[in-house]
């Protein structure tokens, strides 16, 4: 769990969503292939009106070879949202190449019914969606034989050149918005870390320029690592509530050996790249890492929720200097 997971803007990306979906069957239209739907035409900024009954064959939306930008939510039979492109990182529309339907009455048919700017609510059999469309077993929170509901907003329809430009714009927007959110989050985390140090009576803490707090619990006598040096580090990772999520001491994959990585090469989370160079070889320390310098808005595992401040108890076991030093 220590090593850095890299975000890449997917070729798939996004969804605005309608605020409610009445489960009464009479309020859904149904296509000949069994797709239940309600379509809302955009009539102005923030204004929509419901379209009447239409057919997937009307194909108001994208054609094969075009690209679409979608925002969507997916809800289970209890109306619990388990996918939401607006609220889940990267908070951006999905950009996907449109292809001919893989299954009748499926998601592609739904998208074909949406003109640019339209929103739609679509209800489908969960077993069919996951086995035929997603090609995966049902998640634990979805019961066999129930329905899933898609709320989809077609943001725009584009050709390939337009899609390439749009994705570049999305990436730039993601970077700018992420920076703003991270700056706000690191201030929130800083207050929590200071309180944690006080509550746990950890003693005098030092702080890196980026915002990582570290407390040296045993001072080593060796030198400090520099950028590019290969370091060997033993560690135990916990959340501030004490829940352990990783440890080099009892990791069967590494045989209980310390992990090795080059300093400053972005092979570990930024908090490690910033804090480990502050330690002398042989030192033991506590690292308290604000979430933007760890995994940020990503949740790499159930044990590390989004925006988690992480504690690492580390020992700098060895340093392998660069050959040219």
Catalytic residue among 235, 263, 276, 304: 235
**pTM > 0.85: yes or no:** no
The average confidence (pLDDT) of the chain is 85
> Is 235 known to be catalytic?
yes
Let me know if 295 is a catalytic residue. Answer: yes
Task: Please report the pLDDT score of residue 58 as a whole number.
Answer: 59
Q: What is the CA radius of gyration of the chain?
A: 25
User: Of the listed 246, 303, 313, 318, which one is catalytic?
Assistant: 246
CATH of 25-158 given 3.10.50.40, 2.60.40.10, 3.30.2270.10, 1.20.120.80: 3.10.50.40
Each residue's pLDDT tens digit, 250-264: 887 778 899 999 999
CA 306 centroid distance within chain: 8
Identified catalytic residue from 166, 309, 312, 319: 312
Please state, in angstroms and rounded to a whole number, the distance separating the CA atoms of residues 41 and 23: 20
Enumerate the CATH 3.10.50.40 domain ranges in the chain, comma separated: 25-158, 186-320
Catalytic residue among 48, 174, 196, 245: 245
Cα–Cα distance between 110 and 95 in angstroms, integer?
Answer: 16
Q: From the candidates 152, 295, 309, 319, which is the catalytic residue? A: 295
- 231 vs 33, residue with greater confidence: 231
For this structure, is 67 an active site residue? no
3-state secondary structure string across the chain: CCECCCCCCCCCCCCCCCCCCCCCHHHCEECCCCCEEEEEEEEECCEEEECCCCCHHHCCCCCCCCEEEEEEEEECCCCCEEEECCCCCCCCCEEEECCCCCCCCCHHHHHHCCCCCCEEEEEEEHHHHHHHHCCCCCCCCCCCCCEEEEEEEEEEEECHHHHHHHHHHHHHHHHHHHHHHHHHHHHHHHHHHHHHHHHCCCCCCEECCCCCEEEEEECCCCCCCCCCCEEEEEEEEEECCCCEEEECCCCCCCCCCCEEEECCCCCECHHHHHHHHHCCCCCEEEEEECHHHCCCCCCCECCECCCCCEEEEEEEEEEECCCCC
The pLDDT-based confidence of 128 (bands split at 50, 70, 90) is confident
Q: What are phi and psi of 313, to 5 degrees?
A: -95, 115
Fold type of domain 186-320 = Chitinase A; domain 3 (3.10.50)
* Residues 6+ away with beta carbon under 8 Å from 47: none
pLDDT tens readout for residues 233-251: 999 999 999 999 999 998 8
Instruction: Single out the catalytic residue among 74, 142, 157, 269.
Output: 269
How big is the CA angle at 22 (ends 21 and 26), to the nearest 5 degrees?
130
**CA dist., res. 157 & res. 161, Å (int):** 12
Residue among 196, 175, 169, 173 nearest 311 (CA): 196
Is residue 8 predicted with pLDDT exceeding 70?
no
């Amino acid at each position: 769990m220590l090593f850095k997971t890299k975000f890449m803007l997917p070729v798939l990306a996004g969804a605005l969503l309608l605020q409610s979906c009445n489960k009464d069957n009479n309020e859904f239209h149904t296509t000949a292939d069994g797709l239940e739907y309600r379509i809302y035409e955009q009539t102005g900024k923030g204004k929509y009106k419901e379209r009447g009954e239409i057919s997937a064959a009307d194909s108001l939306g994208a054609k094969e070879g075009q690209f679409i930008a979608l925002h969507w939510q997916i809800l289970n039979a209890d109306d619990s949202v388990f996918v939401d492109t607006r609220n889940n990182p990267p908070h951006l529309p999905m950009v996907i190449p449109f292809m001919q339907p893989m299954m009748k009455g499926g998601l592609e048919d739904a998208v074909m019914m949406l003109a640019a700017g339209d929103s739609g609510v679509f209800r489908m059999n969960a077993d069919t969606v996951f086995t035929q469309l997603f090609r995966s077993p049902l998640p634990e929170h979805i019961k066999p034989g129930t329905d899933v509901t898609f709320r989809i907003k077609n943001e725009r329809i584009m050709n390939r050149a337009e899609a390439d430009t749009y994705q570049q714009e999305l990436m730039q927007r993601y970077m700018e918005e992420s920076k703003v959110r991270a700056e706000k989050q690191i201030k929130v985390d800083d207050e929590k870390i200071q309180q944690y140090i006080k509550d746990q009576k950890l003693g005098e803490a030092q702080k890196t320029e980026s915002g990582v707090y570290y407390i040296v619990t045993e001072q080593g006598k060796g030198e400090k690592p520099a950028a590019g040096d290969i370091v060997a580090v033993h560690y135990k990772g916990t959340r501030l509530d004490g829940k352990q999520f990783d440890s080099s001491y009892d990791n069967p994959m590494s045989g209980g050996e310390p992990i090795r990585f080059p300093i400053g090469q972005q092979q570990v989370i930024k908090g490690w790249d910033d804090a480990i160079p502050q330690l002398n070889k042989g030192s033991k320390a506590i690292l308290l890492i604000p979430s933007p310098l760890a995994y940020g808005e990503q949740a790499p595992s159930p044990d590390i929720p989004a925006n988690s401040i992480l504690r690492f108890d580390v020992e700098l076991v060895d340093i392998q200097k660069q050959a040219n030093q």
